[in-house]
Structure 1
């Protein structure tokens, strides 16, 4: 995490939803298993499908566990302090 409170998760082979969970867990110094399910906040399957089916420069932003999460085209995920 840098001094602004931003935490970037590099693109990897994991599912997009897992990258979101890992980013939030790391930003909060928690384990992924300690986080509540992502689904009530965002449908992980829909998120993955959105980015798989588009050539547009997409960005999806939402709040989860008090963090501002942004997912970018190409799989980049950023986690900041809340909105």
Structure 2
């Protein structure tokens, strides 16, 4: 069961959009690949209600270094990477956003 939704969508924080039922986070692509991974894990934590240290390691689903490098690399056209981790569907964009929702049962 998801944790209580955060009240709003704010930069560098995880927010909940009740109109779409999705959680959103923003990160600075210029802050490097670690910012990507942190945003993903924080978003999953907000949805699952788990502490960051309680979330199964991201490397069980996707290579965190490769994800961060791919998303934060300069490019002409934006890209999205989607995957499911710990019961959460996640979409990460090279435009600096994470959009996620719990997997429907």
The TM-score bracket by the shorter chain reads: 0.7 to 0.9
Larger Rg: 2
Gaps of 5+ in 1: none
Matched, 1:70 2:87: no
Is the CA contact 2:91–2:100 (under 8 Å) kept in the aligned structure 1?
A: yes
Deviation at residue 15 of structure 1 after TM alignment: 1.9
Gaps of 5+ in 2: 1-15
Q: CA RMSD in A?
A: 1.8
How many pairs align?
83
TM-score by length of structure 2 reads 0.69
TM-score by length of structure 1 reads 0.85
**Which one of the candidate residues 23, 31, 39 is aligned to 1:7?**
23
